[in-house]
């Protein structure tokens, strides 16, 4: 397996929540219904994950936010479910595996994505 892309992103949780409060419809535009039900720090980490994924994919034009959904496995480990525009770009690059790590502490949420063939 070869590394195809790496992306990382950090989000100030309070600033992110202020954006959600200030912009009607932003929550629904960025997150699937399952994601939107998560607590604030988890939402910020999921936004960071989507940004990190976009970077790892080379920031494809027209990427739909709902086409990259972060789910938690039974163990609590996060993983992406990708479809649509994100799946198309991943297939173009030959992505076989998407690794995701999330963290949030001290008012900051972060995510790292590694794409492998």
CATH number of the domain to which 29 belongs: 3.90.470.20
Beta bridge partners of 102: 111
> What is the rounded average pLDDT for all residues in the chain?
96
pTM attached to this predicted model: 0.95
Mean pLDDT across the stretch 67-94?
A: 96
What's residue 14's pLDDT?
98
- What integer pLDDT is reported at residue 1 of this predicted model? 80
Residue 22 token pair: 């200030």
Q: What percent helix, strand, coil does the chain show, rounded to 5?
A: 40, 30, 25
Identify the pLDDT of residue 116: 98
Residue 59, pLDDT > 90, answer no
**Domain containing residue 16:** 3-116
Assess whether pLDDT exceeds 90 at residue 49. yes
CB 74 within 8 A of CB 28: no
- Look at residue 62 in the predicted model and tell me its pLDDT: 86
The predicted-structure confidence for 13-43, as pLDDT tens digits, reads as follows 999 999 999 998 999 999 999 999 999 999 9
What is the model's pLDDT at position 82? 97
Please count the structural domains in the chain: 1
């Amino acid at each position: 397996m070869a590394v195809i892309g790496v992306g990382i992103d950090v989000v100030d949780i309070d600033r992110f929540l202020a954006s959600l409060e200030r912009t009607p419809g932003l929550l629904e535009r960025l997150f699937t219904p399952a994601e939107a039900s998560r607590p604030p720090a988890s939402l910020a980490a999921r936004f960071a994950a989507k940004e990190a994924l976009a970077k790892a994919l080379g920031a494809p034009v027209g990427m739909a936010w709902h086409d990259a959904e972060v789910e938690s496995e039974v163990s609590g480990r996060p993983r992406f479910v990708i479809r649509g525009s994100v799946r198309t770009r991943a297939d173009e690059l030959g992505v076989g595996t998407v690794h995701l790590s999330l963290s949030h502490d001290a008012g900051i949420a972060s995510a790292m994505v590694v794409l492998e063939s």
